[in-house]
Amino acid sequence: MVSWAIVHPVAVIARVINLRAMNAITAPRIARSVCPHDCPSTCALDVEVIDERTIGRVRGAKDDPYTAGVICEKVARYAERIHHPNRLTHPLRRVGKKGSGDFQQISWDEAFDEIVARWLEIERTDGPEAIWPYFYAGTMGHVQRDGIERLRHARGYALQYDTICTGTAWPGFIAGTGVLAGPNPETMAESDCVVIWGTNAVATQVNVMTHAIRARKERGAKIVAIDIYRNGTMEQADMALVLRPGTDGALAVAVMHILLRDGLADRAYMAEYTDFSPEFEAHLKTRTPKWAAAITGLAVAEIEAFARLIGTTPRTYFRLGYGFTRQRNGSTSMHAALSVAAMTGSWQHRGGGAFHSNSGSWKLDKSIITGADLGPGGRELDMCEIGKVLTGDDAVLKGGGPVKALFIQNTNPVNVSPEQGLTRAGFAREDLFTVVHEQFMTDTARLADIVLPATMFLEHNDYYRRGGHTRLLYGPKLVEAPGECRSNFEVVNELLRRLGSDHASMHLTDRQMVAETFRRSGFGEFDEIEKRGFIDGAWPDEKARFADGFAWPDKRYRFQPDWDAVARLKGYTWVCDPSEMPRFADHWDVTERVDAETPFRLATSPSRSFLNSTFAETAGSQKRQPEPTVFIHPDDAAELGIADGEPVTLGNRRGEVALKATLFDGMQRGVLIAEGIHPNSAHRNGVGINTLIGSDPVRPFGGAAFHDTSVWVRKD
pLDDT at 398: 86
Say if CB 628 and CB 661 are below 8 A apart. Answer: no
Range 622-630 average pLDDT:
91
Whole-Å CA distances, 464 to 292, 352, 430, 660: 41, 27, 38, 38
pLDDT in tens, 478-500: 999 999 999 999 999 999 999 99
State the pLDDT at residue 688: 96
Q: Which residues 6+ apart lie within 8 Å of 251 measured at CB?
A: 226, 241, 243, 292, 296, 298, 303, 306
Is a pLDDT exceeding 80 seen at residue 716?
yes
State phi, psi for 434 to the nearest 5 degrees. -115, 130
* pLDDT value at residue 3: 54
Residue 16 above 70 pLDDT?
no
Residue 11 has pLDDT above 70, yes or no: no
- Give the Cβ contact number of residue 413 at 10 Å: 30
Beta strands per DSSP E along 379-432:
380-382, 405-409
How confident is the model at residue 1, as a pLDDT? 54
pLDDT tens-digit profile of 172-191?
999 999 999 999 999 999 99
How many Å apart are CA 66 and CA 43, to the nearest integer? 8
Q: What is the mean pLDDT of residues 7-31?
A: 58
Q: Which residues pair with 264 in a beta bridge?
A: none
For range 65-73, the mean pLDDT: 94
> What pLDDT, on a 0 to 100 scale, did the predictor assign at position 18?
54
Per-residue pLDDT reduced to its tens digit, 110-138: 999 999 999 999 999 999 999 999 999 99
Average pLDDT over residues 190-201: 97
In this prediction, residue 633 has a pLDDT band, given cuts at 50, 70 and 90, of: very high
**Sequence-ordered list of residues with C-beta below 8 angstroms from that of 438, at least 6 positions apart, any chain:** 88, 408, 412, 444, 445, 451, 452, 453, 454
pLDDT at 610: 86
More confident call, 398 vs 455 = 455
* pLDDT tens by residue, 671-708: 999 999 999 999 999 999 999 999 999 999 999 999 99
Q: For the chain, what is the mean pLDDT? A: 95
3-state secondary structure labels for all residues of 559-573: CCCCHHHHHHHHCCC
Question: Residue 6: which pLDDT band, with cuts at 50, 70 and 90?
Answer: very low
Q: Which residue has the higher pLDDT, 3 or 199?
A: 199
614 three-state secondary structure: strand
pTM of the model: 0.95
Distance CA 172, CA 128 (A): 35
d(CA 98, CA 622): 27
pLDDT of residue 23: 47
Residue 22 has pLDDT above 50, yes or no: no
Q: How far apart are CA 529 and CA 508, in angstroms?
A: 19
Tally of residues, the chain: 716
Read off φ and ψ for residue 691, nearest 5 degrees. -55, -35
Q: How far is 56 from 47, CA to CA, in rounded Å?
A: 7
Percentage of residues in the chain with pLDDT exceeding 90? 91
Average pLDDT rounded to a whole number, residues 200-220: 95
- Provide the pLDDT for residue 353: 98
- Tally the C-alpha atoms within 13 A of residue 358's C-alpha that lie toward its C-beta: 29
Residue from 326, 40, 319, 324 nearest 168 by CA: 326
Q: Encode 637-658: b = buried (16+ Cβ within 10 Å), e = exposed.
A: beeeebeeeeebbbbbebbbbb
Alpha carbons within 13 angstroms on the beta-carbon side of residue 551 total 18
Does 628 have pLDDT greater than 60? yes
3-state secondary structure of 626: coil
Radius of gyration of the chain (CA): 25
Q: Kindly state the average pLDDT of the residues 436-441.
A: 98
Do 284 and 256 form a contact (C-beta atoms < 8 A)?
A: yes
Quick check: 238 and 219 in contact, CB under 8 A?
Answer: no
Residue type, 338: L
Q: Find, among 208, 266, 194, the residue nearest to 557 by Cα.
A: 266
Give the lowest-confidence range in 217-221, 351-355, 624-628: 624-628
pLDDT at 20 over 60: no
C-alpha to C-alpha distances, 572 to 50, 99, 168, 566, nearest whole angstrom = 47, 36, 11, 8
Contact 319, 573 (CB under 8 A): no
Residue 671 parent element (H or E) = strand 671-673
Euclidean distance between CA atoms 495 and 435, whole angstroms: 12
Dihedral sign, CA of 32, 37, 38, 39?
negative
Q: How far, in Å, CA of 474 to CA of 532, rounded? A: 9
Residue 433's H or E segment, with its range, is strand 433-438
Q: According to the model, what pLDDT value does residue 615 have?
A: 86
Asked whether the beta carbons of 542 and 187 are under 8 A apart, the reply is no
pLDDT at position 613, please?
85
Concatenated DSSP letters of 570-596: HT----S-GGGS-SSS-----SPPP-S
